[in-house]
Chain A
Amino acid sequence: MSSTKFILGLFDDPDDMMHGIEKLQKNSVPIYDVYSPMPIHGIEAKLGVKESRLGYAAFCFGLLGGSVIFSIVYYTLVHDWPMNIGGKPTFPMPVFVPFTFEWTILWTAFGMTLTFFAATHLFPGRAPRVMDLRATDDRFVIAIDAKGNVPHDDITNLLKEAGAVEIKHNTRKYVSYDE
């Protein structure tokens, strides 16, 4: 039994890597994940990754923020202590606009970004689950779970044919940052 846990195909060109994904899929090899130093457009469709729903979260947070500040201004300005300033109305709609607008944006931004961090498990101090250190520099990495995907040499050959510059058989899943 080989001790290989993950097979990594390292590409130096995003187009070659896309080609590699196609090749693997044609041979029914499941892809664990792909790591790249920049976003690659069109890869989601190829890997069947569902569209992000963060937009809905953003909308809800915006609505909430706007409602919260509107309620605060309404309570303090109109309900709790209405003031008569030269006979002007105590419920001046234009005054509500800047506050409601600003907090809608504030809550959208923070709500959405924090949802993104939570969903992607990003937070300060999180141990980076990186499989190859060059994936944040100049390598486009396809990771394949070695378990069940045998023989490994076939996968190696597939990746090589697609133009991988390096193929790694890693015995541990993630790079250790403690060395």
Chain B
Amino acid sequence: MASHSESILREPLITGKNITYAQITNEVLAPVENKPNKAWWIGFVVAVLGALLWVVSISLTFWYGLGEWGLNKTVGWAWDITGFVWWVGIGHAGTLISAVLLLFRQNWRNSINRSAEAMTIFAVICAATYIVAHMGRPWLAYFTLPLPNQYGSLWVNWNSALMMDVFAISTYFSVSLVFWYTGLLPDIASIRDRAKGLRRRIYSVLSFGWTGSVKTWQRFETVSLILAGISTPLVLSVHTIVSFDFATSLEPGWHTTIFPPYFVAGAIFSGFAMVQTLLLITRKVLGLENYITMFHIESMNKIITLTGSIVGVAYLTEFFIAWYSGVEYEQYAFINRATGPYWWAYWSMMSCNVISPQLFWSKKLRTSIPFSWFLSIIVNIGMWFERFVIIVTSLHRDYIPSSWVMFYPSWVDVGVFIGSIGVFFTLFLLFIRFLPSVAMAEVKLLLKTSSEQAKKKLIDSGKLDKEQVESYVNQLKIYDSVDITDYETSK
């Protein structure tokens, strides 16, 4: 039913004039089929240097052990777990966009889901490196598998939240990978059928022999819908289980029942911020302004404000409950967070995560691309601090004042963290170079209903309500990819 027309009150999801199916293929595949430009090479070289720093830092960690990190007797978990939770959180937006927004029929997801899913997979890879690294003896990683007793003295401890984490993260990673790759098949087939020689052979293998026949598409859609249906509770379960790592302990500051929803909201918050960080640059560099429009940017900013506010309420609730519980250790943990030696970390977190997203109530700010990008960086920083505050400030002053310490990261700590960002960007840049960064088939689906040109045709037919057309044209004014003068003359 590609012929039905959508209400004029809805914003267009594809802008531009006279866009054809072929043009979508050409524009999306331009970075894949042509030599990369200078901006890509500069980004790639910087990212690879970062990834090399990661290799050096992680090698030192494996060779000499966790003594290379700044951990001490009191603070036994610091930047490693901070980095792990940060990356897992970032890895939530991809599945959220592709699964939850699919179930809610939010068609604006169609042009951003592919790159957000890729981002998810790379972020979870970064998170997984922290799990392996902080084991101390990573060659014994198989201890987390339920192997028989001959391998050790006992079976694995199923009562431990860390064991649940192994299952949650591995399931999340592999299901996201399946979801992403299945969605890629039709688009890889498009590259295959336009390529020649060796490239054609490689993409042919990668395309699994996709043809686009009726039955294939029908099954493909069933698979996508069911994968979305099961990924939705999955994505919520993953950060819930990550929060169990803390919430099931008896540590003041960690032992709280608010952790699961609070962690999930924080994950969506940071995930969308990272999507924003990447896509605002990608759309410019790859020239995808017609597909990733101002409407997409504004929608994501609204989600950032919503989830940022949920996180803010969670911070305040935690504080209130600490007081209301009457447990003095719990109370001290929170007073110490806000006013102790780590006050700067706490207030960085508060201002980056709670206060700054409120600026998006202003329409002018949330439709400004430079400001959105700046704020997405602020949120990324704030969410890193959130995990640091939860982990380090809860640990650094335990029950015995003689063991109170501060945590100082070693350069290897810093190297592993900065390096993991390098690994992430290396993978992401390779992705936009070799695979289509926008789901072409899904965008083509929108062309006849939700595009600016389809709506323009409706307006030009003159059968629409004048008031509705006016409000539609008003919405278009914020788009940087729409030539508004077209509408002034036609009125």
Contacts and interface: CB of A to CB of B under 8 A. Distances in A.
B222 A43 contact: no
A128 B209 contact: yes
Contact of A121 (B22, B193, B201, B209): B209
Interface in B217-250: 217-223, 226-227, 230-231, 233-234, 237, 241, 244
- Residue from the set B149, B155, B174 with the largest chain A CB neighbour count within 10 Å: B155
A10 interface: no
A138 interface: yes
A40 to B, nearest CB: 7
Interface in A65-102: 72-73, 76-77, 80-81, 83, 85, 92, 95, 98-99, 101-102
A149 interface: no
Contact of B217 (A40, A106, A127): A40
A136 B189 contact: yes
A6 to B, nearest CB: 13
Interface in A26-53: 33-44, 47, 49, 52
A144 interface: no
B358 interface: no
B226 A110 contact: no
Nearest to A15: B3
Nearest to B240: A98
**Is the interface on chain B under 10, 10 to 19, 20 to 34, or 35 or more residues?**
35 or more
B441 A39 contact: yes
Nearest to A17: B2
B73 interface: no
Contacts of B206: 124
Given A76-B146, A122-B185, A134-B193, A37 B212 contact: yes
B208 interface: yes
Contact of B210 (A12, A40, A83, A136): A136
Nearest to B196: A179
Given A55-B222, A137-B25, A122 B208 contact: yes
A115 to B, nearest CB: 9
B233 A105 contact: yes
Contacts of A138: 20-22, 25
A63 interface: no
A109 B178 contact: yes
B164 interface: yes
A140 to B, nearest CB: 9
B171 A136 contact: no
Contacts of A117: 208
B227 A137 contact: no
B213 A137 contact: no
Contacts of A136: 186, 189-190, 192-193, 210, 212
Contacts of B211: 35, 128-130, 135
A14 B212 CA distance: 14
Interface stretch (B62-70, B336-344, B442-450, B460-468): B442-450
Contact of B218 (A52, A110, A130): A52
Nearest to A131: B211
Nearest to B241: A98
B158 A99 contact: yes
Interface in A107-161: 108-110, 112-113, 116-117, 119-130, 133-138
A42 B1 contact: yes
A105 B234 contact: yes
B215 A49 contact: yes
B204 interface: yes
Contacts of A76: 146, 155-156, 158
Contacts of A122: 185, 208-210, 216
Contacts of A41: 1-2
Given A39-B445, A41-B1, A73-B146, 6 more contacts: A39-B218, A49-B214, A52-B222, A81-B154, A101-B233, A136-B186
User: Which 7 interchain pairs have the tightest Cβ spacing?
Assistant: A126-B209, A138-B21, A138-B22, A122-B208, A76-B155, A39-B217, A133-B193
